[in-house]
Chain A
C-alpha cells in the first residue's frame, strides 16, 4: 500500500534533490554493471566466433596428435618435429569404416625459393582431402590430387603468395625447395583464424603432396605432426574415436604416445582458457559491484544519520517502522536501479564502440542485461537494508531530538 502511495515518489524526489551525491553513489553500480555486461559480452562473442569457426572446419573431424610425455623431463618442449605417428598408422586408419578421409600433416624443414626466399611459414606435405576436411575453398586454381597429378605441384596459403612471389596470382609459377622445382597449382582462401590451438598458421603454409616426399626420399625423416580423420556422420564419432585409439595402441605397442581429439575437444582447449579469463574478469567486475554496494550502504547510512530529524517528523505524524524502512529501501533500490540502467546503456555504447573500432563482436544478449539489472537491484536491497533497518528502529522522540 505504502509503496504505491508515496515512497517511490519520495525516493525519487530525494534522489533528485541530492543529484550529485546520488550520482556518486550510483557510480559504483554503473561501473560494476557495465563492466560485467561488457566482459561477459566480449567473452561470449569471442567464444561464439571460435566455436563457429571450429565447427565449420572440423564438424566431423577427429584429430590425432603425437604426444611425447617424457620429453619435457629433458627440458625440451613438445615439438611438431618429433612425432610418434607413422605411415603405418595412416594406412591402418584408412581401413576403418565410416571414415571418409585420412589426411596426414607432415611438417618439413627447409626454405622455399621463388622470386624471393620464403621465411614466413612452413611447408606441410599432405593429401588431396585437406580442403574437404578443413572445409576450405580455393581462391585460385585447384588443389592437387596425390593419386593423379605429378608430385611436383604445390598449393599456397593465402599469405604465402606475397612471401614467395611478386605476382599476385602465381598460378603456374614455380619455386625451388630442396633442389626440386614445384609448380603452383592453386591458392587457398584465407583462413579466418588458425583453427588449431597449435601454432600452425595455414595462411602462411606451403602445401605439397605426400608423393613429393618419396620422390625426394625424405619419407624416413618426415614427421607426421597431425592426422585429420574425416568421419561420415557425427553420430559415428565416438565409435570411430574408440577404433582409432585401439588401432594406434596396437601399432605403438601399447604406448599411449598420441592423443585423439574429438571436434568438441579441439574447441574446448580454446574455450576453457577463455572461460577462465572470463571468470577472472567477472570476478573483478563482481568486486567492483560489491564496492559499489558498499558505497550505497555508506551513503545511505550517512543519509539516515543526516535525516534522523526527518525520520522523527515522519514518525510523529504516524509513520510505522515498516513504512520508514520501506522508504529508505526504495531509495537505495532506486539509486541502484537507475545506476544499473545507466550501466546497461553504457555497456551498449561500449559494445557499439568496440564493434566500430576493433574486430571484436561482443554478444549482448537479453540474459546478460537481465542479470545486470537484477544484480543492481539486489545490491540495492542487500546494501540498502542495513541503513533502512537502522532508520526504522529509532524511537520517534530520539529521532526528533536530532537537529
Chain B
C-alpha cells in the first residue's frame, strides 16, 4: 500500500492566454520508508509537485491519496491538521520566524497542536539536541549559519513526529559542508523509518536517495531506483557526462538540463586542444 499516491495530477496557474501548466498529468506512488530525490531543471514543476504532496497546494485535476485517504479536496482546516500531524517541511530559504528564538521556532508546530508551553519547549529542546543544536536554543535565526538554521528547521519539521518529510532544495543555500550536515541528518531520519521526498539540483546528493525521479516540463520523464551510497545512473549520465554549456548558452541563460547534449567528440576535442594549449604555454613560460 502506497503512502502517497498521485493519479494524473495536473496543476494550472493563471487564466486564458497566461495559463501555465506546472504539472501535466503526473502519476506517482511513494511507499513508506522511501527516500526520494526529485531532480529536474528550474520551472519543471518539482516544487509544485512537492507542495501538492505536502497539502500546501491543491491540484487542478487528478486525485491524490495520502495514507489511502483522498485528500485533494480536503477542507482548509482538515488539510491543516493532516499537514500538522503527518508532514514536516524543510525549505530552501529555511522559513524560520526571525523574531523568535530557535527554540520557539522549533516549538511552533506544537503550539498549533495545543500542547502546553513547558511540554512543548521540552520537546523542542530534545529535538534540537537530536540535530546537535542544543547549545543554540536561545539564538535567533539571524545569529546562525545557514547549515545551523537548516538543522533547526529539520528539528522543527521533526518535532511533531511526522511520517513524511518534504524538503524543497534543503541544501540549495548551503555550502558543501552545510549540505553534508543536512543530508546526513536526513539520512539518519530516513533510517528511523521516515519517508523523505526532497528536491535537489546536485547529482551528488542522489547517493542518499533510494529512488530518483526526473522531471521536465511538468512531467516525470524517468523514475529510477538506486542503492544508498551510489550516485544514480541517470544523474551521472545526464549531469556528469554532459558537456558544459557553450558561452552563447551562458549568455542566453540556458540551463544545463535544457540544453541538448552537444556532440561529444567535438566538445572533447576542443577541450583537449584547450588543455594542450595551456600546457604548452606553461612550458613555454618556464623555458
Contacts and interface: CB of A to CB of B under 8 A. Distances in A.
Contacts of A323: 112
A6 B117 CA distance: 8
A313 B85 contact: no
A5 interface: yes
A395 interface: yes
B95 A316 contact: yes
Contact of B112 (A312, A320, A396): A320
Interface string B46-58: 0000010010110
A397 B57 contact: yes
A5 B77 contact: no
Interface in A297-345: 309-310, 312-323
B97 A315 contact: no
A2 B112 contact: yes
A1 B99 CA distance: 24
B113 interface: yes
B56 A316 contact: yes
A329 to B, nearest CB: 16
Interface residues on A, range: 20 to 34
A318 B76 contact: no
A323 B95 CA distance: 19
Contact of B85 (A13, A14, A316, A318): A318
Interface string B20-31: 000000000000
A17 interface: yes
Contacts of A17: 99
Given A317-B89, A318-B113, A323-B112, A400 B80 contact: no
Interface string A374-403: 000000000000000000000111001001
Interface string A269-313: 000000000000000000000000000000000000000011011
A288 B145 CA distance: 48
Contact of B77 (A10, A317, A320, A403): A320
Interface in A348-395: 395
B219 interface: no
In the complex, which range does the number of interface residues on chain B fall in?
A: 20 to 34
Contacts of B100: 13
Interface centre among A6, A309, A403 (most CB of B within 10 A): A6
Interface-centre pick from B57, B93, B112 (highest chain A CB count, 10 A): B112
Contacts of A395: 57
B109 interface: yes
B80 A315 contact: yes
A13 B99 contact: yes
Interface string A12-50: 011001000000000000000000000000000000000
B56 A317 contact: no
B268 interface: no
B173 to A, nearest CB: 13
A400 B94 CA distance: 11
B9 to A, nearest CB: 15
B116 interface: yes
A5 B111 contact: yes
B197 interface: no
Given A397-B56, A397-B57, A5 B83 contact: no
Given A321-B77, A396-B57, 6 more contacts: A10-B111, A318-B83, A318-B160, A319-B80, A319-B112, A396-B56
Interface of A: 1-2, 5-6, 9-10, 13-14, 17, 309-310, 312-323, 395-397, 400, 403
